[in-house]
Amino acid sequence: MEISKNSTQTFIRCIEFFSGIGGLHYAFKQAWSNGEVIASFDINIVANSVYKHNFGKNPITKCIESLNVDDIEKYEANCWLLSPPCQPYTRGGKGLDDQDQRAKGLMHLIEILPKLSNPPEYIFLENVLNFEKSRSREKLIIQLYRMNYEIHECLLTPLQFGIPNDRLRYYLMARKKTIIYENIGENIENLEENYFKRSNTNIHRSWPFEYIVRPIDQRSSCFTKSYGSHHIFGSGSLIQTKKLEVFARLHTFPLKPNNSDNFMNNLNNIQDQILLPPRLYDSIKNSSSTNYLEFPDDVSIIQKHRLLGNSLNVFVVAELLRCVLFNY
């Protein structure tokens, strides 16, 4: 459904699954002004305390794989936001994919989708590189295809959005089609041949808007939750800083201004130079309605690093929501 810039925005009611510290929630607030996250789910108690601290709502700690149709339909949500555990798909993991215990929640949501009387109009999913090769993704795509969703998949890095952080991630955006095709069932049999064998061409690897960026000659790579622990080898890139807000800024979480930090000032200046039609990045950053990311006093530095390392890039997700999924 296309929405004119001059029309009234559709009111969007989101359920946020695997909510963590609320990266998807922040992104949704930046992408869409007429809506709310009405419920969130996560079993990580520390992450939930950060979420409650910043959004005033306690995520539900009920395991996602235990949810039934009534548990989900009672929220009358028309949008699902998902950032399922990445361990089943990471290059350093065991490669168990859909057989991994941590994939149970996602598998359950895929199975429950067609049982809903009103499936969500919008679905957004974020995960790591290699998810695009997984059986989990294949099951998700087939289910969405059966249910007549328009699907867009991307492998993108914040570098493509002018953010000096090389963190390639998989993104899926699915939106219910308004036209129902009678031959969908017949096409399912040919889906593997027609879709998965051409997966490299179906997945977008460049951001559709063209930017000319002149950033400082510094960049960083992926951070993992192993920061702050003794697990160094194989844990990903390292960042040398005593100021955690720099780490959070690379993920473009909204933070309270800090004029004393030269690195952050430089990064802000870079972002201010990037035109993001039809709006400037600083119009988001300085929005009076922004919820700043803050941590409760009882969250340790190790826990902060782990939570941020497991999170996502807020600005990248916000732009994908706004420009692709909600098509505004």
127 and 53 within one domain: yes
Residue 1 lies in a domain: no
Q: Are residues 25 and 148 in the same domain?
A: yes
Q: Are residues 233 and 247 in the same domain?
A: yes
- Is-contact 198 144, C-beta < 8 A? no
Q: Taking a C-beta distance cutoff of 8 angstroms, is the pair 142, 188 a contact? A: yes
- Identity at 301, one-letter amino acid code: I
How far is it between the farthest Cα atoms of the chain? 62
Closest CA relative to residue 267, chosen from 167, 163, 169: 163
Q: 7 lies in a domain?
A: no
Q: Kindly report the average pLDDT of the chain as a whole number.
A: 78
Higher local confidence (pLDDT), 188 or 48: 48
Looking at the structure, do residues 43 and 173 belong to the same domain, yes or no? yes
| Strand duo 275-276 + 279-280: pairing | antiparallel
Looking at residue 171, its pLDDT comes to 97
Q: Is residue 26 part of a domain?
A: yes
Please check whether residues 124 and 227 belong to one and the same domain: no
How many angstroms separate the CA atoms of 292 and 253, rounded? 8
Do 18 and 120 fall within a single domain?
Answer: yes
Q: Give the residue numbers marked as catalytic.
A: 86
pLDDT higher than threshold 50 for residue 319: yes
The tens digit of pLDDT for each residue in 89-111 reads: 998 888 899 999 999 999 999 99
Question: 99 and 185 in one domain?
Answer: yes
3-state secondary structure of 38: strand
**166/238 same-domain check:** no
**With pLDDT > 90 as the criterion, what percentage of the chain qualifies?**
49
Q: Are residues 21 and 154 in the same domain?
A: yes
Stated as kind and residue range, the H or E segment containing 220 is: strand 220-221
User: What mean pLDDT do residues 192-205 have?
Assistant: 67
Residue type, 29: K
Q: Are 181 and 50 found together in one domain? A: yes
Which of 121-125, 225-229, 234-238, 262-266 has the weakest average pLDDT?
A: 262-266
99 within domain boundaries:
yes
Are 141 and 233 found together in one domain?
Answer: no
Range of the domain at 224: 220-312
| 60 within 8 A of 89, measured Cβ to Cβ | no
Range with the poorest average pLDDT among 40-44, 79-83, 99-103, 263-267: 263-267
What's the CATH number where 182 sits?
3.40.50.150
Provide the β-strand partners of residue 221: 166
* Preceding peptide of 278 cis, ω within 30°: yes
Please report whether residue 3 resides in a domain.
no
Counted domains in the chain: 2
- Taking the C-alpha atoms of residue 50 and residue 296, their distance in angstroms, rounded to an integer, is 6
- Report if pTM > 0.85: no
Q: Is the dihedral of CA 36, 321, 174, 18 positive or negative?
A: negative
- Judge whether 67 lies within some domain: yes
Q: If you search the block for the tokens 């802000």, which residue do you land on?
A: 268
Whether 74 maps to a domain, the answer reads: yes
- Indicate whether 187 and 226 sit together in one domain: no
Indicate whether 46 belongs to any domain: yes
Alpha helices of the chain — where are they, by DSSP H?
Answer: 23-31, 45-55, 69-73, 104-112, 135-146, 184-188, 191-194, 199-202, 244-250, 262-272, 281-285, 301-309, 314-320
Q: What is the pLDDT of residue 9?
A: 73
Amino acid at 44: N
Q: Are 19 and 51 in contact (CB under 8 A)?
A: yes
